[in-house]
Amino acid sequence: MSGEIRIIPVRGIPEIRPGDDLAALTAAALQAGGLELADGDVVVVAQKAFSKAGGHLVKLAEVTPSALASSFAELYAKDARQVEVVLREARRIVRMERGVLIVETRHGLVCANAGVDASNIEGEGAVSLLPPEPDADCEKLRSALSAAAGGVRLAVVMSDTFGRPWREGQTNIAIGVAGMDPMRSYVGQVDPYGYELRVTSLCAADELAAAAELVMGKTDAVPVAIVRGYPFTNGDQGARAIVRPPERDLFR
């Protein structure tokens, strides 16, 4: 491991709109801020930036709620149209009570409201959806940023805010990954006391996403951060490797 890891916010990225070139906006902000991408950097980008640029937005005025969405919304004073969007994005409803809607998305992510979110969107009456192919979006951005920086070795992580069972508060996790192995396995290594580790495998991509959020914030308009000094291993598994398969999930 490196002795030091730096987390650098990339400021100056303007409001992102559908059709924007996220790589070009990031490169311009880097140049304006006197920053350069270095070999081995991990670029962490907020999911909302990808969703906006990709046009993954829904106008609530165009949504007709189902009976299920309407009844749940009426019971808990929710917007029935937004509840309907959540239900449409869900592959499976995990829990639907006390005003909380926990679902499994098409990506296999279990989260509140299927990632449907009305925050940080210009204008009123619209919500954003999770990108349908987060890993592919990360790879596209990674390739473009690497080329613009002279071919440096990069990884890209798409981060989003998730709650956690049994713990208060939220943290950022990786829902898309490109250019790196999202896991860091210690299986087979020996600890300082001679004990062989058998199951320890840390999700490095989640840790990088959480660390980057400390400089990105939720209201600071900083959708991109650079993590410098983390010795990642090249990999193309993507964030799909993080999702635990049903046969190994004790909570299903």
What domains are defined for the chain? 6-55+131-244 (3.30.1330.100), 57-128 (3.90.1660.10)
Mean pLDDT of 86-107: 94
Answer yes or no: are the C-beta atoms of 49 and 26 closer than 8 Å.
no
Band (pLDDT 50/70/90 cuts) for residue 141 is very high
Q: Which residues contact 20 (CB under 8 A, 6 or more apart)?
A: 52, 53
Mean pLDDT of 196-201: 68
Q: Is the pLDDT of residue 44 over 80?
A: yes
pLDDT (0 to 100) of residue 93: 95
Band (pLDDT 50/70/90 cuts) for residue 197 is low
Q: Which helix (H) or strand (E) holds 48?
A: helix 47-53
Q: Is the pLDDT of residue 187 over 70?
A: no
Mean pLDDT of 222-241: 96
Q: Is the pLDDT of residue 1 over 60?
A: no
Calculate Rg over the CA atoms of the chain.
Answer: 19
pLDDT (0 to 100) of residue 121: 84
The Cα–Cα gap between 93 and 87 comes to 8
Q: Which helix (H) or strand (E) holds 119?
A: none
pLDDT (0 to 100) of residue 88: 97
Answer yes or no: are the C-beta atoms of 173 and 162 closer than 8 Å.
yes
φ/ψ bin of 221: left (φ > 0), alpha (ψ from -120 to 50), beta (otherwise): left
pLDDT (0 to 100) of residue 193: 73
Q: Which residues contact 113 (CB under 8 A, 6 or more apart)?
A: 82, 86, 101, 103
